[in-house]
Amino acid sequence: MRIRSGEHLISEVRRVAELALQFGEKELKNLSPEQLNFRPKGGGWSINQVLAHINSFSSYYNKAFKDRIESTRHDHPKEKYVSSPLGLAQIKSMKLGKMNNVRRKLKSPRMHNPAIHPVLEEGDQIAKFMDYQQEMLEISHEAAEVNLRRTKIPLAISNRIKLRLGDALIYVSFHVERHLQQIKNIKLDPKYPVGK
């Protein structure tokens, strides 16, 4: 059980959303189609596929966050926040290590995997990414006004399993952070196309 202040949790969500927006502006906006679609040796995802995956998750969770925040009857925020055992396990599985390394490889759910569902890659993934991260900033402000512990969000993989809103916000934020590191790693590949 991890105890922290609700304010600290919300500031962590904002930190990641702001980091993602800065990363999008500096590292993604000017990529060529060759750079976006370069796939590392060994069958890893391209940057475009990573963004499509993040966007697929964001599409589900951002809507779920907004719907639950708007409809919850638990509209009195509490100062202290306690993660549930399930939430803590989800957060730990997603969080990067101290050296920004992926501590544990996770298999992407089929419905959010662009290698299985290429339709996820349709459209401008960078613009979608920026929009979803801006929306996450707005959601963080709205979430600060409700009880992060009593408001529940169904997991994307099963509507029957629910996380506390606070756990779900951190889980999704760490998911974005994890995949931004994946994009950085793709750009370090020796065969990655050089920009013009």
Burial of 115 (0-12, 13-18, 19+ CB in 10 A): middle
Q: Specify the residue for token string 């992060």.
A: 148
What CATH topology corresponds to 3-187? Answer: Four Helix Bundle (Hemerythrin (Met), subunit A) (1.20.120)
Residue 159 tokens read as 């509507």
Q: What is the pLDDT of residues 122-144, one digit of tens each?
A: 899 999 999 999 999 999 999 99
Q: Do residues 120 and 55 make contact, with C-beta atoms less than 8 angstroms apart? A: yes
Q: What is the pLDDT of residues 41-72, one digit of tens each?
A: 887 899 999 999 999 999 999 999 999 999 99
Residue 163 has pLDDT above 80, yes or no: yes
pLDDT mean across residues, the chain: 89
Residue 65 CA to its chain's centroid (Å): 13
pTM for the whole structure: 0.90
Angle 18-60-46 from CA coordinates, rounded to 5°: 65
Where does the pLDDT of residue 105 fall: very low under 50, low under 70, confident under 90, or very high at 90 and above?
low
